[in-house]
Structure 1
Amino acid sequence: MLASIHLTYVLGTLPFEQRFAAARKLGFQAVEFPFPYSVPARDYAQLLADHGLSQISIGAPAADYKAGMPAYSLTPTLKPQFDQSISTVIDYAKVIGCSRVHVFAGSRAPDVSEELAFETYCQNLAEAHDRLEAEGLGLVVEPVNSSDFSGYFLDRLDLALRAIARAERPGIKIILDVYHAHVNGEDPVTFLRDHGKSVAHIQLADYPGRHEPGTGKVDFDLVFQTLRDVKYGGSVGLEYVPTRSIFDGVPLAAELGLSVASGAS
């Protein structure tokens, strides 16, 4: 199982370049960092290569959904920006050797109805999927709860399945965030049992609080047993807000198959 760590959420207190060395020393094989564009692609690729790491996915450039800006993917008048975002991510992804592209849903503009936003999103997903596939890249989407991220359009796992079906591109896969699912009252274990083949990556944080596994109510033993039961073939990563230093011990190290479980520095 390919295990990853989020460079911002978990390792964000370290200087940027040191995060890659830390990830490797902790035993991870891959990292998450959705928007690396402030770093030239060749420099970012070198950081990955120097530490024997791969990039789990890369986000296509997106409007600031945390500030509620209208999403490129949902807004018909922003189609040129959406198309350019796909061109940009293709170029960057190929340089850094990342095979998955995350198209963020973002926020719906007030003058765009839910129906139009959904149809626009699905059409954009279909076109993006085909462009990416032609370059040897895959497309992933992630439901993000709209309680923590007010106005986020793709806010449920069932809505992601609907969007993929409407786009008529079963090759589009899902990032399943255990925390987001629990916020929504959705059961990630049931989703894995019913739709495991649709999941490409799983992000782990406990609920409530979005802190490290073991601080909340999520039954991670059951999560990992389910992954074994469904013969899950994707990747799993830690994406949580720390309450303690990960260098005091990596949560779920054994389950993630890490070679260094604790005490890394």
Structure 2
Amino acid sequence: MPRFAANLTLLYQEVPFLDRFREAASDGFRGVECLFPYEHPAQEIRRRLDDAGLTQVLFNVSPGDWAAGERGLAALPGREAQFRDALEQALDYADTLGCRNLHVMAGIPGRSVDRSTAHATFAANLAHAAERAAAHGITILIEPINPRDMPGYFLNRQDDAHALRQEVGAANLKVQFDAYHCQIVEGDLAVKLRQQIAHIGHVQVAGVPARHEPDTGEVNYPFLFGLLDELGYTGWVGCEYRPQGATRAGLGWLKPWLRATR
């Protein structure tokens, strides 16, 4: 059965971030992910993980100035030095937290940047990131994100992500399959999972179109969870959605799956 990880950036917003680890564990989660952990010391997060018996599954390399609208640095020409600094920070956190996956965000290059130049920058930064991460036993992930939620984001499609993965050619570079983003951009979720499961390093879920609980909207997640089992997927499934109300009140969809994994 799939192993589910609570996204602590979006879930449990009823309490401060550092208290969300305890809340997630009390609801049966054994893994957690988040967008960016850097507002808190890595050792303090590690203490919360250990106290709750949780695994840190994933977080993102710093995206630059999020408040100013930046959504990653890796495909931004001229920002290579800042990207490398952010990567080293992420690797330090990952080592402390015992996290084996880092998501590298491409970013929004802007209309003045030639797409081929942004592509070459992205590929070069990913090659560097994969080489550095390999020394730490860490996998680098790239994620296609839909342009409705993140206009101008450089990477939108699964096929483009896998083509880039092949171009870079690093064994520890994989694709993050977010079913919510994929359904909005291109659909055909089951076929894409079957075609690329060997190169998918992490899966995320949310209801489509509103990004609420996975039992809302147009995607048949029980079918997809069964397919992940059929395909032998052993990674985590990140619950990266916005609860319609209190987080705990909306976890009814999860309870049958948690019971099946006990």
Considering the TM-score relative to the shorter chain, is it more than 0.5?
yes
Total equivalences in the alignment: 260
Q: Structure 1: how far apart are the matches of 2:165 and 2:230?
A: 25
Q: Distance in 2 between the 1:225 and 1:169 partners?
A: 29
Equivalence for 2:178: 177
User: Equivalents in 1 of 2:56, 2:124: separation in Å?
Assistant: 27
Q: Which amino acid aligns with 1:161?
A: H
2:132 aligned residue: 131
Distance (Å, rounded) in 1 between the aligned partners of 2:80 and 2:170:
19
Q: CA RMSD in A?
A: 1.9
- CA drift at 1:71: 4.2
Deviates more, 1:65-74 or 1:228-237: 65-74
Counterpart in the other structure of 1:243 = 244
> Shift of the alpha carbon at 1:106?
1.2
Distance (Å, rounded) in 1 between the aligned partners of 2:238 and 2:207: 13
> CA separation in 2, counterparts of 1:202 and 1:39?
25
Task: Describe how 1:23-38 pairs up with structure 2 within 5 A.
Answer: 23-38=24-39
Which structure 1 residue ranges, 4+ long, deviate > 3 Å from structure 2? 64-71, 256-260
User: For residues 109 and 216 of structure 2, what CA distance do their matches in structure 1 show?
Assistant: 33
Tell me how far 1:65 sits from its aligned partner. Answer: 5.8
8 Å contact kept, 2:5–2:32: yes
* Distance in 1 separating the partners of 2:168 and 2:66: 22
1:8-27 correspondence runs (5 A): 8-27=9-28
Give, in whole Å, the separation in 2 of the partners of 1:70 and 1:26.
31
Distance 1:105 1:66 in 2: 17
CA deviation after TM superposition for structure 1 residue 17, in Å: 2.5
Matches within 5 A, 1:139-154: 139-154=140-155
Render the CA deviation track for 1:30-75: whole Å, top value 9, x for unaligned: 1111211110111111111111111111211122467443842112
Instruction: Give me the whole-angstrom Cα distance separating, in 2, the residues matched to 1:130 and 1:50.
Output: 32
Cα distance change, pair 248–72 in 1 and its aligned pair in 2 (3 A)? closer
What's the CA shift string for 1:120-163, capped at 9, x where partnerless?
Answer: 10111011101110122111111111111111111111111111
Q: Secondary structure at the match of 1:22?
A: helix
State the partner residue of 1:263.
none
Q: Who is 2:230 aligned against?
A: 229
What corresponds to 2:201 in structure 1? 200
Structure 1: give runs of 5+ residues left out of the alignment: 261-265
* Residue of structure 2 in register with 1:99 after alignment: 100
Gaps of 5+ in 2: none
| CA displacement 1:85-127 (0-9 Å, x = unmatched) | 1111111111111111111111113332111101110111011
What is the deviation of 1:231? 1.1
Letter in 2 for 1:240: Y
**CA–CA distance in structure 2, aligned partners of residues 15 and 85 of structure 1:** 25
Instruction: Tell me: CA distance 1:257–1:124, structure 2 relative to 1, closer, same or farther (3 Å).
Output: farther
TM-score, with structure 1 as normaliser: 0.92
Equivalent AA in structure 2 for residue 76 of structure 1 = P
**Contact 2:76/2:108 (<8 A) preserved:** no
CA-to-partner distance for each residue in 1:174-221, whole Å, 9 max, x for gaps? 211111111102222111111111112111111111110222111112
How many Å separate the matches in 1 of 2:151 and 2:198?
Answer: 29
Q: In 2, are the aligned partners of 1:224 and 1:255 still within 8 Å (CA)?
A: no
Whole-Å separation in 2 of the counterparts to 1:30 and 1:155:
27
Are 1:82 and 2:74 an aligned pair? no
- State, as a whole percentage, how many aligned pairs show the same letter: 33
Pair 1:214–1:58, CA change in 2 (3 A): closer
